[in-house]
Amino acid sequence: MNRSNRHSGKFSKYRLKVIQSGIEKRSRKFKSSNEESSLMGFPRHFLFAPRIDEELRKHYGNRTKVSAATRMLPMYRFPDLFRAADALGSDYKIIHQITSRHEEPLDSILSTSGGAHYNRKLNLAGSNPRQVDYDETEYFPEESFWIILHQETQQKYILRARNVYQMTFIEVVSSSNELAQSFLDTVITLANEHSVYRNKVFEIRFEPSGQEYGTDHEQAFQVHFLKRHGIDDDEIILEDEVRSLIERNVIDFHRRRDQLVELGVPRKRGLLLYGPPGNGKTYTCKYLAGCLEDATTIFAAGTALVQIRTIFNVARLFQPSLIVLEDIDLVYSDRQINPYSPQLGSLMDELDGAADADNLIVMLTTNSIERVESAIKDRPGRVSQCIEIPNPGPKLRRLYLKSLLREFQDDQLDYNELVTLTDGASHAFIKEFVYRSIQIASERANSDGQFDLLNEDFQTSQHEMTQQGGKAGRSIIGFRATSSTNSTQ
């Protein structure tokens, strides 16, 4: 089955089919031999179509008194309700499922016979695509009813999930308030445990929900799945000491957390990665996300950082979690110059106030550590360690050049000269430097597309990238010319 376009859960066979079969049975009763008869201008099968209250009572029972429990969740949690239904287990049996759209509250549908102000006729509820992973989409009906039996007690429940005003609205009906609330709690617990977001990598954004007369509506919470990169260890080019610090404070800490907690080590850990742009701070975080396959990884940047409490609440819900807050100096700079002072306090509260049971690792990144509020970077209880990721030295530049050129014929290259040409450059500059050199060399390709890489190609590339454009050209994508380089200009 195509993963990118499939129906959700083991109940997908009921969707649409249940409603269509019911309508067809009713409509056949009212068809004449030649043509469908009419009543007051309306087709009989339209006037006598199945009703949602009748269908529910058929499977739930004709009870005059019911009790309801309700809960609102954010819109993005809607797929989790279907995961919860799938995960009810052997204690429960799904008697029937109906997909039909109605505005009337569930207890009203069951407890009153009229419903004069609502349309109770069954209809075909539309299905909407929802992402459940980076490369996986499933279709979920806009509204669904499940009639559920607890096999041991023979107690029946109705579970309803629907979208209401950009929220997920959940209703449970049973014979008493206590039973309805207890079953609703069970459903919410299963929705959390089997969430489509648990142990995934995603980015949190706050985007306008729409526009009217040129004015953005309030910022809507958005979740965008990211690819979990399987980055090999040799693809992360870091100084040995830096690599050791990151692996100990993130990978080893995560894997041995329970053991370390028994030794008195707190469950929470915070790291701040800083250094010039283009040296792999974000790439390192993606590498860590790939290593922590049994953890939820949440990325947030830009305006999303203002909603820091929401970010931490989501992380707690799907813990153990790795939280990556990028470019924090844009929002959490020194309080003397910071227009987001209330949010600064919220971040410090979250870093201080993680509960003993919170399994969180917080990664902060910045290109300008001097701008970051000192109460964040200089407080060990909030950030366990600040780790600098500077422009690479000669050893790392050689390793990175060889890594980028490993698929090419490089026996004619003098790597000592290439290392010198990239003195003062960032990882980002070196990558562009290599790509530009390959393009230049490919201009000499023979009829079979073969060509040799020569040092002259890299010299030309470095000249183009640093000499054409004055000072701005020399500092492009992280390049910082040394004194020896400057002397030749």
Domain residue limits, the chain: 3-193, 233-388, 394-486
104-145 confidence digits (pLDDT tens) = 999 888 877 665 678 889 988 888 899 999 999 999 999 999
Q: Is the pLDDT of residue 477 over 80?
A: no
Q: How confident is the model at residue 471 (pLDDT cuts 50, 70, 90)?
A: low
Of 132-136, 463-467, 474-478, where does the model show the most confidence?
Answer: 132-136
* Cis geometry, peptide bond prior to residue 43 (ω within 30 degrees of 0): no
Mean pLDDT rounded to a whole number for the chain: 83
pLDDT tens digits, 341-376? 677 888 888 888 755 678 999 999 999 998 888 888
Rounded mean pLDDT, 207-231: 70
pLDDT band at 391 (very low <50, low <70, confident <90, very high): very high
Confidence of residue 17 (pLDDT cuts 50, 70, 90): very low
- For the domain bounded by 394-486, which CATH number is listed? 1.10.8.60
Q: Sorting pLDDT into bands at 50, 70 and 90, what band is 43?
A: very low
Res 39 pLDDT > 50: no
Q: Please check the confidence at residue 211 and state whether its pLDDT lies above 70.
A: no
**39-53, 176-190, 232-246, 468-482: segment of lowest average pLDDT:** 468-482
Query: Regarding predicted confidence, which is higher, 407 or 297?
Result: 297
For position 339, what pLDDT does the model report?
A: 66
More confident residue, 337 or 198: 198
Percent of the chain's residues with pLDDT above 90: 58
Residue 28 or 228, more confident: 228
pLDDT score of 261 = 92
- CATH entry, 233-388, from 3.40.50.10950, 3.10.180.10, 3.40.50.300, 3.30.559.10: 3.40.50.300
pLDDT at 220 over 90: no
Give Rg (Cα) of the chain: 30
User: Quick one: what percent of the chain has pLDDT higher than 70?
Assistant: 80
What pLDDT sits at residue 332?
84
Kindly tell me if the per-residue pLDDT of 482 is higher than 50.
Answer: no
pTM of the full predicted structure? 0.82
Which pLDDT belongs to residue 469? 59
Q: Do domains 233-388 and 394-486 have the same CATH topology?
A: no
Q: What is the arithmetic mean of pLDDT over 299-307?
A: 91
| Per-residue model confidence (pLDDT) at position 227 | 93
pLDDT above 60 for 97: yes
